[in-house]
């Protein structure tokens, strides 16, 4: 069954799509048009239990007997399968998210395949520990560490970069020998289902990769996080949902790995390369209609260049071209849903009521034809608000930024750090000493200097404060996806 040609998407359990029929279902809507893309069946509690049981059985089956090299070859086969069906994944991702083709084809789908390749190789080179010691009786002993799979991992995925972030979790989980039960967002169900087909075609044993479709509370998400057959839960999404998952994980004392919300700051010093700073800041604010966890929503610009920078960024915002996502001329897409559109424009209204200067945007695009039914929010720039304002404290997750001037380095750092979040930050300066000095003082899991969204998949990724728990990427994810054991041998 090809989910892209079938109007009904189901869960994928034990190596097979669940037979359609007899379950509650909901419509999957194209954010660009408001049209129905497919119908999605909601997994029942029994379906989730079946998926966890299938994943548990696979741990002791053929998958659990593979060597590290054999698992690495399996991950490369999955990446090959994604690349062979690139167009299918691209179309599925675009219809689910409304992403412009130039973005999805260069970021989301290539990174999905790259995640499997990167973690296939990372595990081959993961360091271990070896400690010779002298025992109390004067004899010798050796200590060394072994890493084994944690077990069945529950993977809860977001809707903004659904394929990229889902594979960012599934790939290391499988590389470490775990099995997974994936709950994609109800907004973006398609690529997770399609990956099940690729898993089967790549020869991955039944039960290693399972997908349960549905919602959060009272649905598949709650059933999965509360299931005592799940050995660990990894989640990317908003902080409040993370808190609910953490409460569920407390029963059974199960570990969690969270990448949560952000209210990311950028600092632009007067000595920056203005053109490069404007180009990358426009990406940092407006890429994917601002629906990126690493997006910059607060920007602090040194006063001598403040006016020029604000106008330069506004020009780039006005130059963005909303339109048919399948048209290569389109550079700006819709937001994910009507509900999210209302949330963003609600903040636009708050900013206006609080006296913000709306430099550009502040409303909705007027689209024609089929696109008139989509969720088209204008890219928006504000100035003039106080740092304590709601718009500067709460994550909006839309194509908007507030820009404020600053006068000295300490002020900029203090204001950038004045947030309950600490996911990412961005810094622009041509002074190398300042770059190191300021970068070290910013309270965020990742700081980009003179760039944005430049990722080496071997590096640690995650947030501070309310932005997350743990780190993903390279060997750093081993702390979550494996259990560490010490072997002590008396000689």
Residue 254 in tokens? 């199960």
Half-sphere exposure of 409 (CA within 13 A, CB side): 15
The C-alpha atoms of residue 416 and residue 442 are separated, in whole angstroms, by 7
Consecutive H or E run containing 36: strand 36-41
In angstroms and rounded to an integer, the radius of gyration of the C-alpha atoms of the chain is 23
Give the contacts of 69 (CB within 8 A, at least 6 positions apart): 124
The C-alpha atoms of residue 71 and residue 50 are separated, in whole angstroms, by 24
* Residue 261 contacts residue 467 (beta carbons within 8 Å): yes
Residue whose token pair is 């020029």: 308
How far from the centroid of its chain's Cα atoms is residue 122's Cα? 20
User: What single DSSP character describes residue 461?
Assistant: B
Hey, which residues does 401 pair with through a beta bridge?
Answer: 381
Hey, which residues does 464 pair with through a beta bridge?
Answer: 422
* Residue 373 contacts residue 33 (beta carbons within 8 Å): yes
Backbone φ and ψ for 176, nearest 5 degrees, come out as -85, 0
Give the other-Cβ count within 10 Å of 417's Cβ: 16
Residue 62 in tokens? 């053929």
Report helix angle 68-84 to 162-175, nearest 10: 160
Q: How many secondary structure helices (H) and strands (E) does the chain include?
A: 16, 23
Q: For CA atoms 290, 292, 297, 300, give the dihedral sign.
A: negative
The C-alpha atoms of residue 388 and residue 258 are separated, in whole angstroms, by 27
User: What single DSSP character describes residue 364?
Assistant: B
The C-alpha atoms of residue 37 and residue 29 are separated, in whole angstroms, by 6
Is 302 one of the annotated active-site residues of the chain? no
Consecutive H or E run containing 428: strand 424-428
Give the contacts of 130 (CB within 8 A, at least 6 positions apart): 142, 143, 144, 145
The C-alpha atoms of residue 106 and residue 307 are separated, in whole angstroms, by 33
Is 176 one of the annotated active-site residues of the chain? no
The C-alpha atoms of residue 289 and residue 301 are separated, in whole angstroms, by 22
The C-alpha atoms of residue 461 and residue 472 are separated, in whole angstroms, by 5
Q: Which of 259, 297, 395, 472 is catalytic?
A: 259
Q: Which of 157, 176, 272, 293 is catalytic?
A: 293
Residues classed as catalytic? 259, 293
């Amino acid at each position: 069954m090809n989910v892209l040609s079938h109007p009904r998407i189901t869960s994928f359990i034990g190596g097979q799509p669940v037979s359609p029929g007899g379950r509650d279902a909901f419509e999957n809507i194209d954010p660009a048009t408001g049209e129905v893309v497919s119908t999605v069946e909601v997994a029942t509690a029994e379906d989730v239990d079946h998926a966890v049981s299938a994943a548990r059985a696979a741990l002791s089956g053929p998958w659990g007997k593979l060597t590290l090299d054999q698992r690495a070859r399996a991950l490369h086969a999955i990446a090959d399968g994604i690349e062979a069906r690139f167009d299918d994944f691209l179309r599925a991702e675009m219809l689910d998210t409304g992403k412009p083709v130039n973005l999805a084809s260069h970021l989301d789908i290539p990174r999905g395949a790259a995640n499997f390749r990167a973690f296939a190789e990372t595990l081959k080179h993961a360091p271990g520990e070896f400690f010779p010691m002298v025992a109390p009786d004067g004899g010798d002993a050796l200590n060394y560490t072994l890493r084994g799979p944690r077990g069945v991992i529950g993977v809860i995925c977001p809707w903004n970069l659904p394929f990229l972030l889902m594979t960012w979790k599934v790939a290391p989980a499988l590389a470490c020998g775990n099995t997974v039960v994936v709950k994609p967002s109800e907004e973006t169900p398609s690529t997770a289902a399609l990956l099940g087909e690729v898993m089967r075609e790549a020869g991955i044993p039944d039960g290693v990769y399972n997908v349960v479709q549905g919602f959060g509370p009272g649905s598949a998400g709650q059933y999965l996080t509360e299931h005592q057959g799940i050995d660990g839960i990894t989640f990317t999404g908003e902080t409040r949902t993370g808190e609910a998952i953490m409460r569920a994980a407390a029963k059974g004392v199960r570990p969690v790995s969270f990448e949560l919300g952000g209210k990311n700051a950028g600092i632009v010093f007067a000595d920056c390369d203005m053109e490069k700073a404007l180009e990358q800041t426009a990406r940092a604010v407006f890429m994917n209609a601002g629906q990126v966890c690493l997006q910059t929503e607060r920007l602090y610009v040194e006063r001598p260049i403040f006016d020029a920078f604000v106008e330069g960024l506004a020009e780039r915002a006005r130059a963005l071209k909303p339109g048919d996502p399948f048209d290569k001329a389109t550079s700006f897409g819709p937001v994910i849903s009507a509900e999210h559109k209302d949330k963003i424009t609600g903040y636009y209204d708050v900013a206006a009521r609080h006296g913000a200067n709306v430099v550009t945007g502040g409303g909705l695009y007027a689209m024609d034809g089929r696109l008139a039914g989509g969720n088209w929010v204008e890219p928006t720039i504000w100035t003039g608000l106080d740092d304590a304002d709601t718009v500067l404290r709460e994550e909006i997750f839309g194509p908007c930024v507030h820009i404020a001037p600053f006068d000295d380095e300490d002020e900029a750092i203090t204001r950038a750090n004045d947030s309950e979040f600490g996911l990412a930050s961005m810094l622009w300066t041509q002074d190398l000493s300042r770059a190191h000095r300021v970068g070290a003082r910013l309270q965020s899991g990742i700081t980009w200097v003179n760039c944005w969204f430049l990722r080496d998949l071997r590096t640690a990724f995650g947030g501070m404060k309310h932005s997350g728990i743990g780190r993903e990427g390279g060997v750093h994810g081993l702390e979550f996806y494996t259990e560490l054991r010490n072997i002590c041998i008396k000689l």
